[in-house]
Amino acid sequence: MQFKPLEKVLTISGLDKRYGKIHAVNNLSLEVEQGSVFGILGPNGSGKTTTLGIILGVVNANAGSFSWFHESNSKQNRKRIGAILEQPLFYPYLSAYRNLQIVADIKGISYDDIERVLKTVELWERKDSKFRTYSYGMKQRLAIASALLGNPEVLIFDEPTNGLDPRGIAEIRELIIQIAEQGITIILASHLLDEVQKTCSHVVVLNKGQKLFEGTVNDVLNLSNTIELSSNNLQILELALKEFKNITDIKPEKDRFLITLAEGVTTTDLNTYLISKGVVLSHLTMKKKSLEEQFLELLSEKS
Ligand SMILES: Nc1ncnc2c1ncn2[C@@H]1O[C@H](COP(=O)(O)OP(=O)(O)OP(=O)(O)O)[C@@H](O)[C@H]1O
Ligand SMILES: [Mg+2]
């Protein structure tokens, strides 16, 4: 099999949206690669839903552009995208199966796909129950099934676990990961770090409509690495650390030092250097900052 470079599913450039004095989306650019689970993370009012509205063609931007699948937005492309934006309108007195038949009619596709999507969201056994008898979590899963009808290549979620209990939250996150494993690209807006950390491969962090950070979730976790180290002779260790140019920060603690290495410098580099100086470490651990700490830092830097 030949290696295929990753395709860009969505490209947004210089997107801007104002509501009067409110700058809801501020010069936003980003790219979503095929197969990724792309998180749009930001506090309430940071412009996530507005951005999703623009790329789905229901909100008009004041400036900037976006393209799906390298093409300007055409009706044909819209069929390749499924969205679960809010509680969708299902008929309360009809069964889940009947409701999906109606959706299939609207989408102009056959009923053959209904069994597959109901099985994916684990509602096949309950297909004949009336929608009004569904729990909140089941309603959310039916919304996902409905979006999956017709095999979209991209699924868009806006706060998919809002209002669910811990079990419902875990189920929906599990389902999103499972859908992503089938090769569907996912774009997910959330104000919950934990959600993005648990489900997404990539993240863009928004605040007041502006992009603060974009990268893989792993990159975000690696943004800043603090290393804790100690030796039997702290004075010699301190001297050696101060001479090492690849350290950006040294904090002495009671019996150890907390240091930050410059970008691209590994603990192996550090250790090799220390050994060359005759320093033997008694302790070395990496302390990764959680996405949460970094998220809060990012927000406080900009506000
Ligand atoms: N139709 C509208 N008219 C006026 N202002 C709007 C409208 N829609 C959004 N806004 C404003 O734009 C800003 C961004 O809102 P948006 O809903 O995109 O944020 P969000 O990140 O989705 O927030 P949340 O986490 O609360 O869902 C907010 O200040 C909001 O009040
Ligand atoms: Mg929103």
DSSP 243-263: H-TTEEEEEE-SS-EEEEEPT
Residue 55 lies in a domain: yes
Q: Is the pLDDT of residue 154 over 90?
A: yes
pLDDT above 70 coverage of the chain, percent? 89
Q: Hey, is 48 helix, strand or coil?
A: helix
Residue 58 Cβ contacting ligand 1 at under 6 Å: no
Render pLDDT for 47-57 as a digit per residue (tens, 0 to 9): 999 999 999 98
Asked if residue 141 lies in contact with residue 173, where contact means CB atoms within 8 angstroms, the answer is no
pLDDT at 30 (0 to 100) = 96
Q: What does the pLDDT average to over 274-288?
A: 88
Q: What does the pLDDT average to over 285-300?
A: 70
Q: Is the pLDDT of residue 111 over 90?
A: yes
Closest among 232, 230, 114 to 241, alpha carbons compared: 230
- One-letter amino acid at 250 equals I
pLDDT at 157 (0 to 100) = 95
Cα–Cα distance for residue pair 8/67, rounded to 1 Å? 10
pLDDT at 3 (0 to 100) = 56
Render pLDDT for 208-249 as a digit per residue (tens, 0 to 9): 999 988 888 877 755 556 788 999 999 999 999 999 998 888
Residue 43 lies in a domain: yes
| Buried b / exposed e along 249-265 (16+ C-beta atoms within 10 A) | eeeeeeebbebbbeeeb
- Same-domain pairing of 18 and 159: yes
Q: Is the pLDDT of residue 90 over 70?
A: yes
pLDDT at 40 (0 to 100) = 96
pLDDT at 129 (0 to 100) = 97
Ligand 1, pocket-test mutation among 49, 159, 295, most atoms within 8 A of CB: 49
Band (pLDDT 50/70/90 cuts) for residue 267 is: confident
Q: What does the pLDDT average to over 250-270?
A: 87
CATH number (domain holding residue 228): 3.30.70.980
| Number of domains within the chain | 2
CATH number (domain holding residue 18): 3.40.50.300
End-to-end CA distance of the chain: 49
Residue 235 lies in a domain: yes
Q: Is 285 left (phi over 0), alpha (psi -120 to 50) or beta?
A: beta
Q: Is the pLDDT of residue 299 over 90?
A: no
Asked if residue 185 lies in contact with residue 191, where contact means CB atoms within 8 angstroms, the answer is no
- Same-domain pairing of 209 and 259: no
Domain that holds residue 60: 8-221
Alpha helices in the chain (DSSP H): 48-55, 75-78, 96-107, 113-120, 136-148, 166-181, 193-199, 217-222, 234-243, 267-276, 291-302
Which residue did the predictor score with more confidence, 76 or 301? 76
CA 210 to chain centre: 16
In the reported structure, the alpha carbon of residue 50 is separated from the centroid of ligand 1 by a whole-number distance in angstroms of 6
- Same-domain pairing of 116 and 96: yes
pLDDT at 87 (0 to 100) = 64
pLDDT at 139 (0 to 100) = 92
Structure tokens at 165: 């209990």
Q: Is the pLDDT of residue 296 over 80?
A: no
- Same-domain pairing of 180 and 242: no
pLDDT at 47 (0 to 100) = 96
In the reported structure, the alpha carbon of residue 137 is separated from the centroid of ligand 2 by a whole-number distance in angstroms of 19
pLDDT at 175 (0 to 100) = 95
- Same-domain pairing of 211 and 236: no
Cα–Cα distance for residue pair 76/143, rounded to 1 Å? 22
Domain boundary among 201, 221, 241: 221
Cα–Cα distance for residue pair 260/301, rounded to 1 Å? 19
Number of CB atoms found within 10 A of residue 149's CB? 21
In the reported structure, the alpha carbon of residue 48 is separated from the centroid of ligand 1 by a whole-number distance in angstroms of 8
pLDDT at 302 (0 to 100) = 52
- Same-domain pairing of 93 and 27: yes
- Same-domain pairing of 135 and 166: yes
pLDDT at 223 (0 to 100) = 55
Q: What does the pLDDT average to over 281-295?
A: 76
- Same-domain pairing of 25 and 14: yes
Residue 3 lies in a domain: no
- Same-domain pairing of 183 and 248: no
Q: Hey, is 66 helix, strand or coil?
A: strand
Domain boundary among 206, 221, 236: 221
| Buried b / exposed e along 52-90 (16+ C-beta atoms within 10 A) | bbbbbeebebeebebbbbeeeeeeebeeebbbbbeebeb
The pairing of strands 247-252 and 225-231 is unpaired
Asked if residue 199 lies in contact with residue 160, where contact means CB atoms within 8 angstroms, the answer is no
Which residue did the predictor score with more confidence, 218 or 274? 274
Domain boundary among 168, 192, 221: 221
Render pLDDT for 6-46 as a digit per residue (tens, 0 to 9): 789 999 999 999 999 999 999 999 999 999 999 999 988 99
- Same-domain pairing of 118 and 171: yes
Smallest-distance ligand from the CA of 48: 1
Residue 180 lies in a domain: yes
In the reported structure, the alpha carbon of residue 114 is separated from the centroid of ligand 2 by a whole-number distance in angstroms of 29
